[in-house]
Amino acid sequence: MNILIVNGPNLNLLGRRDPAHYGTATMEEILEALRAEYPDDDIDYYQSNHEGDLIDRLHEAGYDPAAECDGIVLNAGGYTHTSVALADAVEAIGLPVIEVHLSRVAAREPERRCSLLGAVCRGTIAGLGPAVYTLAVEALHRLR
C-alpha cells in the first residue's frame, strides 16, 4: 500500500518535547520501525507547523493522480482541537484517514478532549505512544 503519514504542529520536536506525554522516540525512529514492520508498503511522511500546508498536502494526496495514495495516518497535533478547515479537507479528499495521538487525549485538559477530526476520520487511535502509528497502518490494511 501507499501510505502517507501527516504530522501537524510541534510534532517535529518528538523526542525532545514533553516526554511525559509524547515519549522519547523521534519521528525518524518511529518511521524506521514502521517501515521495517511494513517493508512492502511505501510509507511517505510529511510534517508541517502550518495549517494551510497540511491542507495542501491532504489535497495533493487525494486529488493528484500521481500521488497514488491509498490511505493517510494523521496526527494533526493541536489543530485536532481547533481546525474546521483541516476537518473539511479530510472530508473532501475521500481517502481513508486514521486520526492518531501519541498521548491519551481523553484523559488530558478539557480542550484536548474534543476532536474536530473524529467525525470525518475513518477511525481514531490514541494514547499508546509510538504504537499508534503502527496500529493505524495496520487499520488501513484491514480496511482495504
Which residue numbers are catalytic?
Answer: 22, 101
1 or 128, CB closer to ligand DQA?
128
Per CB under 6 A, contacts with ligand DQA among 112-141 are 112
Contact mark string toward ligand DQA, 36..75, x via CB under 6 A: ---------------------------------------x
Which of 30, 48, 57, 80 is the binder for ligand DQA (CB under 6 A)?
80
Instruction: Compute how many other C-beta atoms are within 10 angstroms of the C-beta atom of residue 144.
Output: 8
Instruction: Compute how many other C-beta atoms are within 10 angstroms of the C-beta atom of residue 66.
Output: 6
* Distance separating alpha carbons of residues 129 and 104, to the nearest angstrom: 9
Q: Which residues contact 62 (CB under 8 A, 6 or more apart)?
A: 69, 92, 93, 94, 95
Judge residue 24's burial from the number of C-beta atoms within 10 Å of its C-beta, 0-12 exposed, 13-18 middle, 19 or more buried: exposed
Find the part of the chain contacting ligand DQA (CB under 6 A) among 36-44, 57-65, 90-98, 100-108: 100-108
> Shortest approach of ligand DQA to residue 101 CB, angstroms?
4
Q: Which stretches of the chain bind ligand DQA, using CB under 6 A?
A: 10, 75, 77-78, 80, 101-103, 105, 112
